[in-house]
Structure 1
Amino acid sequence: MSERAAPFYCPYCGDEDLRPSEQGHGAWECAACNRAFQLKFLGLLAQGVHRTPRNGNVRPDEGGGDEI
Structure 2
Amino acid sequence: MAVNACPYCGEDDLRPEPEPRGAWRCAGCTRVFVVTFVGLSVGGPVGAGASLRPGGLRGLE
TM range (shorter): 0.5 to 0.7
More helix by share: 1
Task: Calculate the aligned-residue CA RMSD, in Å.
Answer: 2.0
Runs of 4+ in structure 1 off by over 3 angstroms are none
Give the share of equivalent positions with the same residue, in percent: 45
Residue 34 (str. 1) matches residue 14 (str. 2) = no
Match runs of 1:1-68 below 5 Å:
5-46=1-42, 49-51=43-45
TM-score by length of 1: 0.57
Highest RCO, 1 vs 2 (Cα 8 Å, sep ≥ 6): 2
Matched residues in 1 for 2:17 and 2:29: separation? 14
- For the pair shown, which has the larger CA radius of gyration, 1 or 2? 1
User: C-alpha displacement at 1:32, in angstroms?
Assistant: 1.4
**Number of aligned residues:** 47
TM-score by length of 2: 0.62
